Amino acid sequence: MGSQPLAPGRSASQRALLTREILARATELFGAQGYEKTTLNDIAAAVGISRSALYHYIASKEQLLVMLMDELSRSLDEAVAAMRNTAHTPEDKLRIFVAELVRHRAEHPDPFRLINQSDSTLPDSVRAQHLRARKTVLTELSAVIEEGIGAGVFQTDDVRIAALTVVGMCNWVAWWFTAGKERGAEEIANQVSQAAVDMLRGRGRTPEAWPDAGAAFDSLRLSLDIIERSLKVKEAS
Amino acid sequence: MGSQPLAPGRSASQRALLTREILARATELFGAQGYEKTTLNDIAAAVGISRSALYHYIASKEQLLVMLMDELSRSLDEAVAAMRNTAHTPEDKLRIFVAELVRHRAEHPDPFRLINQSDSTLPDSVRAQHLRARKTVLTELSAVIEEGIGAGVFQTDDVRIAALTVVGMCNWVAWWFTAGKERGAEEIANQVSQAAVDMLRGRGRTPEAWPDAGAAFDSLRLSLDIIERSLKVKEAS
């Protein structure tokens, strides 16, 4: 450790690079031994610099949590923007938003779990930002589900429960995904987003739960398309 | 605190009652200030007994985690038994298992979050039991999904991802459910279990993803039933 003396006058890009490295090592340590138990000495040692050099980059352990939370908020804003910019139908909006969330959970499980784990012990500012982020996810998902219900493509008993169920699908990825061991993040994002759409389309319900004959006619047309396609495939082969 | 002297000779039922009380207060404290930061003194004070009296009931903080984990394992066994004993079709099995998990997460969010939060810092024996429990949930769900695929009622690209997606729906309830504030646990259990079934029936897929014309004929019959029912309702009114 402390192999190189680190002057405060380093270039901005070097500075950004080392700050990123500090954040990554700290997140690993928080995950492995808990936030409370991790000291700034541990973090400095893991990065390979002295504790006093570390202070050129971060002021406190708490500041690391603030930086992690900022990153989570930024990625959430990107997910919202991706959904709003590229999707038109409620199904596509849901698909894109869920896929973005899943990708993020798969690629950054540690910071996400850390923020959700320490919930009650988070510093006030981080906790407030965390609650805002949770609220944004819920509000955006609820709006898309409402839109789908309005368009007659989604159905659910309670929009809030449905939205939170979708949130659970996405967030839990941070608890089970292991890079390299599982199928790729992209494949998982695709399947989970399709699962969310299937869940909300709810076409598998019993007839009693169907809204009206209109939906049945839609389904009828779809069934006929499938049979027609199936016959054509047979003829062609 | 320490209002009553507690002799080791108390009756078994009194003992069980106080042990349960200790476990409940400890779980609250772990949630509020973190497992690491909570001391046996804090727990004794919250229960209203002295630290030496506490030692008549539990030997260590670690033992409390073991007891919490035992309770989680027991409730999981009950969920598995409920599914196996009462359900016949894959849909009903899935519905019952998911509902049991959701009910449990809604009724005991704190111990469940604690065990999942401290993951890497859990004592070895508790960690091993926790991983076994996670594996049981995944194995049972995967088996039901496979059974449903075999019976032609479920469809999914990857059984493991589908099972973990359902696990996420259930587990996340421990992060958002607040007793009294939300709809009741029973209502949530019903909606989430229906959501899991809808997700796996996946009838909302595009024609390309449908397996064959057989499923389309099933859907056709269902659509005709609905239209017939709808016409009868109109005639009757």
Residues of A in contact with B204 (CB under 8 A): 197-198, 201-204
Per-residue pLDDT reduced to its tens digit, A67-121: 999 999 999 999 999 998 887 899 999 999 999 999 999 998 888 988 887 666 7
B36, A34: Cβ pair inside 8 Å?
yes
B156, A191: Cβ pair inside 8 Å?
yes
Per-residue pLDDT at B40: 95
A219, B223: Cβ pair inside 8 Å?
yes
Where in chain A is CATH 1.10.10.60? 12-59
Pick the CATH number of A12-59 from 3.40.91.50, 2.102.10.10, 1.10.10.60, 1.10.10.10: 1.10.10.60
Among A164, A194, A204, the residue with its CB nearest the CB of B198 is: A204
In the structure, what pLDDT confidence band is assigned to residue B34 with cuts at 50, 70 and 90?
A: confident
Per-residue pLDDT reduced to its tens digit, B131-183: 999 999 999 999 999 999 999 999 999 999 999 999 999 999 999 998 777 68
C-alpha distance from residue B13 to each of A29, A163, B10, B16 (Å): 44, 43, 8, 5
Q: Burial, B64: exposed, middle or buried (Cβ in 10 Å; 0-12, 13-18, 19+)?
A: buried
CA B174 to chain A, closest CA, distance in angstroms equals: 10
Where in chain B is CATH 1.10.357.10? 67-202
B168, A164: Cβ pair inside 8 Å?
no
The domain defined by A62-202 folds into Tetracycline Repressor; domain 2 (1.10.357)
Tell me which of A172, A206, A224 to substitute to probe the interface with B (most B C-beta atoms closer than 10 Å).
A172
| Tokens matching residue B148 | 């449903």
B202, A198: Cβ pair inside 8 Å?
yes
Q: Is the pLDDT of residue A144 over 90?
A: yes
In the structure, what pLDDT confidence band is assigned to residue A161 with cuts at 50, 70 and 90?
A: very high
Residues 6+ apart with CB under 8 A from A16: none
C-alpha distance from residue A13 to each of A3, A10, A59 (Å): 20, 8, 19
Does domain B67-202 match CATH 1.10.357.10? yes
Per-residue pLDDT at B36: 81
Per-residue pLDDT reduced to its tens digit, B88-114: 899 999 999 999 999 999 998 888 988
Per-residue pLDDT at B84: 87
Per-residue pLDDT at A77: 93
Per-residue pLDDT at B234: 64
Cα separation, B52 vs B56, in Å, equals: 7
Residues of B in contact with A231 (CB under 8 A): 213
Across the range A135-139, mean pLDDT stands at 95
User: Please, are residues B132 and B77 in contact by the beta-carbon 8 Å criterion?
Assistant: no
ipTM above 0.85, yes or no: no
Among B158, B165, B200, the residue with its CB nearest the CB of A183 is: B158
Residues of A in contact with B167 (CB under 8 A): 172, 176
For residue B223, give the nearest of A154, A146, A226, A91 by alpha carbon: A226
Residues 6+ apart with CB under 8 A from A196: A94, A95, A98, A166, A169, B199
Cα separation, A67 vs A33, in Å, equals: 19
Across the range A209-214, mean pLDDT stands at 54
Residues 6+ apart with CB under 8 A from A52: none
| Tokens matching residue B156 | 């999914």
Residues of A in contact with B229 (CB under 8 A): 207
A168, B164: Cβ pair inside 8 Å?
no
| Tokens matching residue A132 | 């805002």
Cα separation, B150 vs A149, in Å, equals: 32
Per-residue pLDDT reduced to its tens digit, A181-203: 768 999 999 999 999 999 999 85
**Chain mean pLDDT for chain A:** 85
Per-residue pLDDT at B110: 87
